[in-house]
């Protein structure tokens, strides 16, 4: 499973120069136009083993609080040097950028040569990159044994990164949590709502029309065309019973489904993301679903309930019914009431 990003010829050339030049401390790398590309290298302040810590403060000049970046670092030792591949994904970076960089980090190391790196590091705060204490802590962890990340396989790391980004896309900003279950506040996803939503992409008119014309028992499904990053209509059906919704949803690709529950005013939003779909599909759909909801609201739909599932089979008629007509809480069982005595 890959993000579709690959190492550019420019980065291959820059990395060759980096590995052969012992005076270079860091080769920063970013993603540009679907390729991993190099930025200007940073020199070591000293070739001694302590030169690594002395060189760390230079990295502050290139680290931005909302911009992910890869840093290929040289750590001089008493006899030679070791290379470290560091992935810096700040907590405040946009979700799509987080997922893209996280799911591409294994590709970067693999295509440059896994055997050339002594270790890989993941950091979310600047102090974890430039702080000597963070590096000494990692050194201690290495002395005790392999870290959790090193024990994980490549696919596990990629999937873990996607899961993190999907969780952030699900919760939005801390002030406007939209976790699974519950209802949406009116206008909480629309433009100018203050929801923190920044994702935007073209939407086909056919998709907008289908949402606008959604009627009782209707099911409209949207998807993202990955090459063009456009939201498109995947399918539109009328007269769909609650128990048949799952049979219309793709089991191989993510879908945004809008179902008008029969005999009610409720529209249920169903987000399905099969585990077999590609990382880039998952990345785009996870980070854009708030935007898909905003588009639906712009077409006049009032989205009141939502369901998330990894497989359409989980979207059963009973589950839909529970969302629209939740069981009433009868409260704690009441014991038999003793009759009052006369005159009391």
Domain ranges of the chain: 6-166, 180-324
Distance from C-alpha of 51 to C-alpha of 132, rounded to nearest angstrom = 12
% pLDDT > 90, the chain: 49
What pairs with residue 24 in β-bridges?
43
Determine the pLDDT at residue 211.
97
In CATH, the number for domain 180-324 is 3.40.20.10
Determine the pLDDT at residue 186.
35
Buried b (16+ CB within 10 A) or exposed e, 228-264: eeebebbebeeebebeebbebbbeebbbbbbbbbeee
Determine the pLDDT at residue 159.
56
Helix (H, G, I), strand (E, B) or coil at 294: helix
pLDDT tier at 168, thresholds 50, 70, 90: low
Determine the pLDDT at residue 309.
87
Q: What is the mean pLDDT of residues 171-177?
A: 37
Beta strands (DSSP E) in 115-246 are: 119-123, 219-225, 230-237
Distance from C-alpha of 76 to C-alpha of 21, rounded to nearest angstrom = 12
Determine the pLDDT at residue 79.
62
Query: Which one is the CATH code of 6-166: 3.40.50.720, 3.40.20.10, 3.40.50.300, 3.90.1150.10?
Result: 3.40.20.10
**Averaged pLDDT of the chain:** 80
341, pLDDT greater than 50: no
For β-strands 24-32 and 69-76, DSSP reports them as: antiparallel
Cα–Cα separations (whole angstroms), residue 152 to 112, 141, 143, 147? 20, 15, 18, 9
Determine the pLDDT at residue 141.
58
Determine the pLDDT at residue 194.
36
Cα–Cα separations (whole angstroms), residue 232 to 8, 305, 330? 31, 22, 44
Determine the pLDDT at residue 315.
93
Distance from C-alpha of 132 to C-alpha of 112, rounded to nearest angstrom = 27
Q: Which of 25-34, 74-83, 176-185, 276-285 has the lowest mean pLDDT?
A: 176-185
User: Same CATH topology for 6-166 and 180-324?
Assistant: yes
- Give per-residue pLDDT as tens, 182-216: 333 333 334 333 333 345 689 999 999 999 999 99
The DSSP result for 61-103, as a single string, is GT-BTTB-EEEEEEEE-SSSEEEEEEEE--TTS-HHHHHHHHH
Q: What is the mean pLDDT of residues 41-52?
A: 86
171, pLDDT greater than 50: yes
- Give per-residue pLDDT as tens, 62-116: 999 889 999 999 998 766 678 999 999 988 888 788 888 888 888 999 999 999 9
Residue 205: CB atoms within 10 Å: 8
What pairs with residue 272 in β-bridges?
255, 309
- Give per-residue pLDDT as tens, 289-307: 889 999 999 999 999 899 9
Q: Which of 38-42, 100-104, 162-166 has the lowest mean pLDDT?
A: 162-166
């Amino acid at each position: 499973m890959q993000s579709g990003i690959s190492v550019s010829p420019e980065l291959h050339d820059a990395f060759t120069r980096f590995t052969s030049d012992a005076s270079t401390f860091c080769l920063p790398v970013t993603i540009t136009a679907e390729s991993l590309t190099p930025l200007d290298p940073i020199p070591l302040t000293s070739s001694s083993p302590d030169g690594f810590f002395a060189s760390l403060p230079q990295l502050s000049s290139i680290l931005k609080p909302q911009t992910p970046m890869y840093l290929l670092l040289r750590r001089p030792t008493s006899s030679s040097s070791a290379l470290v591949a560091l992935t810096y994904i700040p907590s405040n970076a946009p979700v799509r950028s987080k997922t893209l960089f996280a799911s591409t980090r294994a590709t970067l190391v693999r295509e440059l040569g896994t055997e050339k790196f002594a270790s890989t590091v993941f950091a979310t705060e600047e102090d974890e990159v430039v702080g000597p204490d963070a590096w000494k802590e990692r050194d201690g962890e290495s002395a005790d044994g392999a870290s959790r990340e090193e024990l994980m396989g490549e696919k596990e790391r990629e999937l873990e990164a996607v899961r993190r980004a999907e969780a952030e896309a699900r919760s939005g900003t801390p002030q406007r949590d939209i976790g699974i279950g519950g209802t949406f506040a009116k206008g909480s996803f629309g433009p100018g709502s203050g929801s923190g939503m920044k994702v935007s992409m073209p939407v086909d008119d056919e998709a907008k029309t289908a949402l606008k014309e959604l009627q009782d028992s209707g099911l409209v499904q949207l998807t993202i065309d990955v090459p063009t990053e456009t939201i498109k209509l995947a399918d539109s059906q009328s007269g769909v019973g609650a128990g048949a919704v799952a049979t219309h949803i793709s089991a191989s690709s993510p879908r945004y489904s809008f179902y008008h529950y029969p005999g009610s005013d409720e529209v249920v939003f169903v987000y399905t993301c099969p585990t077999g779909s590609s990382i880039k599909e998952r990345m785009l759909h996870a980070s854009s679903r708030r935007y898909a909801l905003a588009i639906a609201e712009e077409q006049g739909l009032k989205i009141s309930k939502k369901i998330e599932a990894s497989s359409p089979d989980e979207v059963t008629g009973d589950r839909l019914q529970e969302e629209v007509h939740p069981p009433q809480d009868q409260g704690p069982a009441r014991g038999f009431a003793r009759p009052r005595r006369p005159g009391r």
